[in-house]
Structure 1
Amino acid sequence: MTHQPLPKVETLATHQRSEAWRTDAAQSLDYPILFWITRGQGRIMVDCRMRGIGPNTAVFIPPHTLFSYEMFASPQGMVVSLPLDESAGFPKWPALLKATTVQMQSEITGLIDSLLRESNEERPGQRRAVMAYAMMLGVWLDRALADQPQGELGKSERVLRKFSHVVSIGHRDGKSLGEFAADLQVTPTHLTRLTQNAVGKPASALLQERVIQAACEALLHTDRPVQDIAEKLGFSSPAYFTRAFQTHTGKSPSAFRKSR
């Protein structure tokens, strides 16, 4: 869900403040996003795989991909929300890339700075310039991937990637974990074992976090009644939705909407 034209450039701190909910909880977007970390340490979960991140690290996350992140030690960086445009040529799979040379670091920083400047200045050709810089970020990613191949996924990692995708696009269907597991042709127990080993959370928790993210976004960015949101997200009753929402956020849906 997005609420303004893309691409959009924010500092990491601004992006963290604008998040509908916790950044360390599983979420997904319907557009690509690029993190460029210049300072600090942290970890990021993408497709149910946990990775460490540090200075001069770029993380590209395609649409409909589960991810979460935690940053420590006074982090700095930029976050670029990119358009869902196949002609831009963005990678189809997640990528974590280390900018190991000054040239690589200068190139990506320069592209993001230029994109930000063009986004903030209304002048002839602005939209074309913005899209041109977004496409050049895609070129930077392609070249970095050529130098740093991400490697083949093992059988368990392939199952986790599929789980990431089906939860991202199907979290509003009210499906149980058992139904998601059946779609992947595995048992719920096996799926839970995989996610627990990979990210330290059961599969049910990742599914629930994504549903709560969707609820937070609906409460913040629409005026739909709580009852309608609960029904849309597959809860059996508004009361059950309210209890689940309050358990995760510490507030009732109505109080959350008013507080933000």
Structure 2
Amino acid sequence: MMHDTGIRLSPISLLTQGGRWRAGAMRSYSSDQLLWFTRGQGRLTVGGTARGFGAHNAVFIPAGTMYAFELGAQVFGTALFLGRLSGPPFPERPVHLRIRDAQTQAELTGILDQLQREADGDRPGRERSIQAYAGLLSVWLERVMQQQEDDLAANSASRRLARRFSELVEKDFHTGRGVSYYAERLGVTSTHLTRVCKQTCGSTASEFLAERKFSEARRLLADTRKPVKQIAAELGFASPAYFTRAFQGRCGQSPRSFRTGH
């Protein structure tokens, strides 16, 4: 339920509804978010780096950061979208925390439960209470981050390059530019960029770029009424015919067939 702060909580399973393609699609949101996995396991690609997750993993994802799921069976948890909260400082980089201490797990679950109660309610002082619990969440993240090494924000050159590449792709994937453009912007060769991407997320730079582009193509086809030729132009394809051939080759069906089926 949305209120003035724009805060929202939902089961993680709701983020992956709509078919297998949507579950694994690259995505980004305009709001900071926290994913709290309480059961199951899978794989999460955030900011160009892939790693596995399991029960009692907390992942903080800043607004505008690309990520994708690969969920195993019986994955449960909560997704918190922080909306337009002001005041509490939250991390500017993705953070993946494995919470092994039962008390620390209970602290996070308690904060999320209270945020859910306030967001769904209409009691006096609701907005101040939400801000207060958000402040507690900020402190919780700060304390846990001091105790654990955050692999996604590690200082390795490969992870820094992968993160910067991911940020550039999110900004420019619709322009039609190829890997050589991104490599030049990052001051490396295309070969080195591809090697780093294979190391950090298991796919080449061109595959990473294509996945973001075609994830957006599938979203636009499924969720909007925009003509195919307009979608092709918005995603930087030279012509609707080229877009159709590329989509067919990657997705196994034409854009129109995909739209009809979704």
TM class, shorter-length: 0.7 to 0.9
Match of 2:79 in 1: 79
**Change over 3 Å in CA distance of 1:211–1:55 after alignment to 2:** same
**Change over 3 Å in CA distance of 1:121–1:21 after alignment to 2:** farther
Per the alignment, in what secondary structure is the counterpart of residue 74 of structure 1? coil
Match of 2:50 in 1: 50
Match of 1:177 in 2: 179
Q: Residues of 2 paired with 1:125 and 1:57: CA distance?
A: 31
51-60 or 135-144: which moved more? 135-144
Match of 2:204 in 1: 202
**Change over 3 Å in CA distance of 1:73–1:191 after alignment to 2:** same
Match of 2:190 in 1: 188
Spell out the pairing of 1:243-258 with structure 2 (5 A cutoff). 243-258=245-260
Match of 2:164 in 1: 162
User: Which amino acid counterpart does residue 136 of structure 2 have in structure 1?
Assistant: M
**Change over 3 Å in CA distance of 1:242–1:30 after alignment to 2:** farther
User: Which amino acid counterpart does residue 219 of structure 2 have in structure 1?
Assistant: E
| Backbone CA RMSD of aligned residues | 2.7
Task: Give how far 1:201 is off.
Answer: 0.8
**Change over 3 Å in CA distance of 1:81–1:155 after alignment to 2:** same
Per-residue displacement from partner, 1:55-81 (whole Å, max 9, x unpaired)?
111011222333222222422111222
**Change over 3 Å in CA distance of 1:71–1:30 after alignment to 2:** same
Task: Give how far 1:34 is off.
Answer: 1.6
Structure 2 gap segments, 5+ residues each? none
TM score, norm. by length of structure 1: 0.85
Match of 2:39 in 1: 39
Q: Residues of 2 paired with 1:19 and 1:136: CA distance?
A: 36
Match of 1:238 in 2: 240
Q: Residues of 1 paired with 2:8 and 2:20: CA distance?
A: 17
Match of 1:219 in 2: 221
Task: Give how far 1:163 is off.
Answer: 0.4
Per the alignment, in what secondary structure is the counterpart of residue 236 of structure 1? coil
Task: Give how far 1:109 is off.
Answer: 1.2
- Quick check: 1:195–1:203 contact (8 Å CA) kept in 2? yes
How many percent identity over aligned positions? 39
TM score, norm. by length of structure 2: 0.85
- Quick check: 2:15–2:23 contact (8 Å CA) kept in 1? no
Match of 2:60 in 1: 60
- Quick check: 2:24–2:70 contact (8 Å CA) kept in 1? yes
User: Which amino acid counterpart does residue 226 of structure 1 have in structure 2?
Assistant: V
- Quick check: 1:20–1:213 contact (8 Å CA) kept in 2? no
Per the alignment, in what secondary structure is the counterpart of residue 27 of structure 1? coil
Structure 1 gap segments, 5+ residues each? none
Task: Give how far 1:171 is off.
Answer: 1.3
